[in-house]
Amino acid sequence: MPFLPDGAINDLKDLLGPKGWSTDLDVLAPHNAEARGKFKGQAEIVLFPASTEEVAKAVAICAAHDIAIVPQGGNTGRCGGAVAGSKQVLLNLKRMNAIIEIDERDFTATVEAGAILQTIQEACARHDLLFPLSLGAEGSCQIGGNLATNAGGLNVIRYGNARDLCLGLEVVLPDGSIWNGLSKLRKDNSGYDLRDLFIGAEGTLGIITKATLKLFARPQHVATAWLAVPSPECAIDLLALARRHTGDAIAAFELISGFAHDMSVTYLKGLTRPLATKTDWHVLIELTSSRPDDDLQALLVDLLSNAVEIGLASDATIAQSEKQRANLWAIREGIPEAQGFEGGSIKHDVSVPVSRVPDLLDRGIAAAKALIPGIRPCPFGHVGDGNIHFNFSQPVSMEKSKYLARWESLNRVIHDIVTDLGGSISAEHGIGQLKRDELAHYASDEKMKLLRAIKTAIDPDARFNPGKVV
């Protein structure tokens, strides 16, 4: 342990006991790794506290020795936000994984921060309740990380982001004190909104140790359709029509480019083309309802006929079985994998106002083609949230590494357009260290000043997750 003072290390080991820490390189390896391999963690010790009190005391020990702490959940983040630098202590929450309570009358779940998202979903389902947060990494990401990054995912259009799904938090502060805001309240106007400040702060203001989550009645019915739409404009109009027509029963509304669709059905095994029609733009729409006798199929048929009649869709099919439904989702979910068969892909996590998605596509595609002739745009994703995964596959004849070397220059071009359209350079993945400079580049001086003032007010010694966000 050359970089950390022995006194601190010994105090931490005494506090946490043999299960509560490791300096073993094999144990450290996955915690120092990062999803896309862009960053390499350098922590020499990882802590595994078993309780909020242990977190608080560990933080206090680090504070006394002026050591920085990087909190880590399932380590599935995309922006290097949970990666520690040298001389920093990594604090992983995985041992704090209890589902403390599921309350069927309050429609709440109270959980420790290290609980796996999917475990929470399943525990709620056993009470016939829904925790709607759902995303690719749900089998390994932890709810503390989901909240720290205000995770988005598939059901945002209906239920909101992680922030919208949280009623209360318990948080360990940089001085080792504990803020108990673990509230179940639906209305509470007693002072500034601390909860929403810690949510999305990526561990730079506090370490989330527990959360009370909002639950919903579990859907009893689902209806899913695949449509061919003439243009992204039509998709936006279809969304507005669908919101009105279904009483906001839309659980997902995804736009898929023809190129993305074609790759999925070509390269992935066992998938069936939903429609015979060849089209440049597809929409996947899913309705859900918890009403015991809701006829969502009829509602969807009605919506689709209407849409075809007024020209918002040229063709449509409704899944008639769970197998057909799974096929539609496999096409959508398989796009990133299928893209791999066409070489390198440069990605963006951006959002714009829903109505500006067509502008983003028009301008973004034109600019990308101007920058890299032959580039193949592969947009798809949560158009209902204005959050398109704006991926670009490499030109057919270009060398992959040469193409990927253009990552940042293409990002800059797209981010310029996004910003011009009133959008965000980070829709759902956060800032971490990946986009820290990009945030400072695009944010106004007033915003940066506010962010820094808040960071300094709550973590004056920059002890929590330094070098991330601000």
Do the Cβ atoms of 265 and 271 come closer than 8 Å?
yes
Q: Which is nearer to a copy of itself, 80 or 181 (CB)?
A: 181
Nearer to a copy of itself, 325 or 356 (CB): 356
Residue among 218 and 369 whose Cβ is closer to a copy of itself: 218
429 binds a copy of itself (CB under 8 A): yes
- Contacting a copy of itself (CB under 8 A), which of 1, 64, 100, 217? 217
Question: Which amino acid is residue 33, in one-letter code?
Answer: A
Residue type, 364: G
CB of 435 to a copy of itself, least distance (A): 8
Among 15, 103, 315, 342, binds a copy of itself (CB under 8 A): 103
Site for a copy of itself in 40-99 (CB under 8 A): none
Would you give the distance in Å from CA 52 to the centre of its chain? 25
Residue 423 in the binding site for a copy of itself (CB under 8 A): yes
Is residue 425 at the binding interface for a copy of itself, with CB under 8 A as the rule? yes
Q: Does 426 bind a copy of itself (CB under 8 A)?
A: yes
Q: Does 434 bind a copy of itself (CB under 8 A)?
A: no
Taking the complex as a whole, how short is the minimal distance between the CB of residue 65 and a copy of itself, in angstroms? 22
Report which DSSP code applies to 383: G
Q: Which of 24, 53, 104, 437 binds a copy of itself (CB under 8 A)?
A: 104
Q: Provide the residue count of the chain.
A: 470
Helix, strand and coil in the chain, % to nearest 5 = 40, 20, 40
The one-letter code for the residue type at 378 is: C
Judged by CB under 8 A, the chain residues 247 through 286 that form the site for a copy of itself are 247-249
- Residue 206, SS3? coil
Residue 430 contacts a copy of itself per CB under 8 A: yes
User: Of 245 and 261, which has the nearer Cβ to a copy of itself?
Assistant: 245
- Closer to a copy of itself at the Cβ: 387 or 393? 387
Q: Which of 63, 68, 95, 62 lies closest to 84 in space, CA to CA?
A: 68
The reply to whether 416 sits near a copy of itself by the rule CB under 8 A is no
Torsion of CA 25, 28, 34, 35, to 10 degrees: 100
Of 107, 259, 390, 464, the one binding a copy of itself (CB under 8 A) is 107
What H or E segment, with its residue span, contains residue 358? helix 357-371
Assign 3-class secondary structure to 331-349. Answer: HHHCHHHHHHHHCCEECCE
Closest by CA position to 43, among listed 60, 61, 22, 59: 22
From candidates 100, 125, 185, 310, binder to a copy of itself by CB under 8 A = 185
The pair of three-digit structure tokens given for residue 450, joined into one six-digit string: 């506010």
**Kind of pairing, strands 376-382 and 250-257?**
antiparallel
> In a 10 Å sphere around its CB, with 0-12 CB exposed, 13-18 middle and 19+ buried, how is residue 105 labelled?
exposed
Tell me which residue of 49, 55, 62, 46 sits closest to 170, measured CA to CA.
55
Query: Counting runs of H as helices and runs of E as strands, what totals does the chain give?
Result: 17, 18
Q: How far is the CB of 434 from a copy of itself (least distance, A)?
A: 12
CA 252 – CA 300 distance, rounded (Å): 13
470 binds a copy of itself (CB under 8 A): yes
The only residue of 27, 33, 326, 454 in contact with a copy of itself, by rule CB under 8 A: 454
Of the candidate spans 36-44, 64-72, 102-110, 258-266, the one that interacts with a copy of itself by CB under 8 A turns out to be 102-110
Tokens of 123: 């525990």
Looking at residues 224 to 243 of the shown chain, list those that interact with a copy of itself (rule: CB under 8 A). 236-237, 240, 243
* DSSP letter assigned to residue 201: S
As a whole number of angstroms, the distance between CA 27 and CA 29 comes to 6
Closest approach, Cβ 192 to a copy of itself, in A, equals 6
Q: Does 127 bind a copy of itself (CB under 8 A)?
A: no
Of residues 292 through 351, those in contact with a copy of itself by CB under 8 A are 292-294, 299, 302, 351
Q: Kindly identify the residues of this chain, within the stretch 375-394, that bind a copy of itself according to CB under 8 A.
A: 382, 384-387
Burial class (CB in 10 A: 0-12, 13-18, 19+), 84: buried
Residues 151-180 that bind a copy of itself (CB under 8 A): 152, 156-157, 161, 163-164, 173, 177-180
The binder of a copy of itself chosen from 108, 146, 155, 345 (CB under 8 A): 108
Closer CB to a copy of itself, residue 44 or residue 459?
A: 459
